[in-house]
Structure 1
Amino acid sequence: MTTTQPYDSADYLDTDEAVAEYLAAAFEEGDAALLRHALGVAARAHGMTQIARETGLSRESLYRALSDEGNPSLDTTMRVLKALNLRLTTTVVPAP
């Protein structure tokens, strides 16, 4: 019999660099649902209580905004990124 354990990406996001790479990959996909999920995973890896404290938002509102049914505002997204010691940047995409 094979036994398995639940996988949680948050368990592997133990450095700022790992979080940055994880979120960059999500941004590159261009899928809002994937980005919302990845931001939630990164916030859990950092500690949702700590993120709530640093953003001035409640844990409940963060969990709700970053849930599968959530729709975080740009303000919430920027606050969470700042709490994760990250900033949003842009690059030029070459024309097809």
Structure 2
Amino acid sequence: MESDRRRFLAFAGLSPLVLLGAGNALAQSAPCYSPEALTFSQKSRRRSLGFMDVAVDPKRRCGGCNFFTAGEGGCGNCQMLGGAPVTANSSCSSFAPRS
């Protein structure tokens, strides 16, 4: 019984720290755009280029692409997507590595 109480108190004491860490992770991964705000044309272009919000291959991330223009907080714009906003961690089939 005493060990259950200790385990509960230890967990309760750590919970705020865990939530604080999760809040920071969410703030760092905040989206650069709202998918609902994209026009039909923008959505179609993303589909045709195989756009993914999170790159499967870290070597082909938007942040390392010649068509990407960096902004603030890991966000930027893509020339292939008509200057539309993307994250540096996104990717598409038109990746062209920076020279």
Regarding TM over 0.5, the answer is: no
Greater strand share, structure number: 2
TM norm structure 1:
0.26
Whose Rg is larger? Answer: 2
Greater helix share, structure number: 1
